[in-house]
Amino acid sequence: MKPPISPKRRAITALLASLPAWSAPVRAQRLTPIKFTMDWRIEGPSVFFLLPLAKGYFKEEGLDVTMDIGTGSAVAVQRIASGAYDMGSGDMSALIEYTGNNPAQRAMQAVYQIYETAPGAIFFWKKSGIKTPKDLVGKRLAASVFDAVYRAFPLIESANNLPPGAVKWAIGDPQLKEQLMARGDADGLTAFFATGLLNLNARGVKTEEIGWFKFGDMGIDNLYGNCVMASTRLISEKPAAVAAFVRAFNRGFKEVVAKPEDAIQYAKARDPLINEKTELERLKLALQDISTPNARADGYGSIRKPKLESQVEAVSVAYKLKTKPSADLFFNSSFLPVARDRQV
């Protein structure tokens, strides 16, 4: 004969039986909201963010992530600095510039480096006579005010001894740069390499008709490009949420690097109007500056401090920053998974 159940045990059993009815809503309520701003509209490289979002990797880490498109790295930095967004993607030089000019804020840090090499480029018509960076003097280039390459032009001037004001600028909407060049209203334009090349092709400009200088061709080989940034408020108040975001992002990042053909569908799902073939090509071009020998050796997401120190020095001088910040301010490696978990 079984012993009688005590009133205390009966009460505990009843409580446990009731858990499934209310535990799921509690777990849902405990998801930490993260507002994330991308630096640009939906294109092939956007899948680094869209894949882990669509596959639920952020939710598995206890995060409720919303992602908005952007209009340039400088805007992404300002959005985070204002408190409107918790995290985002933007150019490392834009982060250095903002911090150097707003030393009291220390508004954000990079927590995952995406582009091991900055992907900026200047495109130009071959018929314009441009053969070296010095030939840019007197030429007219199309750009947008928040364009990372346009913002970095003081570095190009400094590295190539170009006089200030040597280039004439056609500043306008980011969507119109390629159109201005294609119809002959500009000798060239500034853009991320993959974006500029394929957008010009889409407007009928043949690759053999144009030339380009990437940063390395202009004597600048010490620049990191876009990174994942987190506000210092979020880092201070919710460090576990930052670590969770980085883990989920890294998980998706590796899948994109390993199989870009499979990943491109997540850009199409977010924006059905894009051309999958074009955006896959754009993603593969971007991977040339992302999956570099250094990135593969060190593990994706990390930086080498001497290179970052060199970038801080160059940006501080060329941009005439109010202060020269320490390189230690810009990259927080404490949230990165171990190196073996960041390798494909």
Same domain, 174 and 231: no
pLDDT at position 14, please? Answer: 47
Per-residue model confidence (pLDDT) at position 29? 56
Q: Where in the sequence is the domain holding 136, given as residue range(s)? A: 120-218
User: Between the CA of residue 283 and those of 43, 201, 206, 217, 231, what are the distances in Å?
Assistant: 8, 15, 20, 21, 27
Report the DSSP pairing between strands 188-192 and 63-68. Answer: unpaired
| pLDDT score at 217 | 95
The whole-angstrom distance between residue 116's C-alpha and the CA centroid of its chain comes to 11
**Domain check: are 289 and 303 in the same one?**
yes
Q: Same domain, yes or no, for 111 and 125?
A: no
CB atoms within 10 A of CB 236: 9
pTM of the model: 0.87
Q: Which pair of tokens denotes residue 256? A: 């994109």
* Token representation of residue 49: 């963010």
What pLDDT is recorded for position 276?
A: 96
Residues 277 and 338 in one domain: yes
Report yes or no on 11 lying in a domain: no
CATH code for position 42: 3.40.190.10
Same domain, 135 and 100: no
- Mean pLDDT per 10-residue segment, the chain (344 residues): 54 46 47 97 97 98 97 93 97 95 94 96 97 97 90 91 93 90 97 94 96 95 95 98 98 98 98 96 97 97 97 92 94 98 96
Domain count of the chain?
A: 2
Tell me, yes or no, whether 131 and 189 share the same domain. yes
Do 283 and 306 lie in one domain? The reply is yes
One domain, residues 56 and 184: no
User: Where among 176, 199, 218 does a domain terminate?
Assistant: 218
For residues 36 and 91, state if they share a domain.
yes
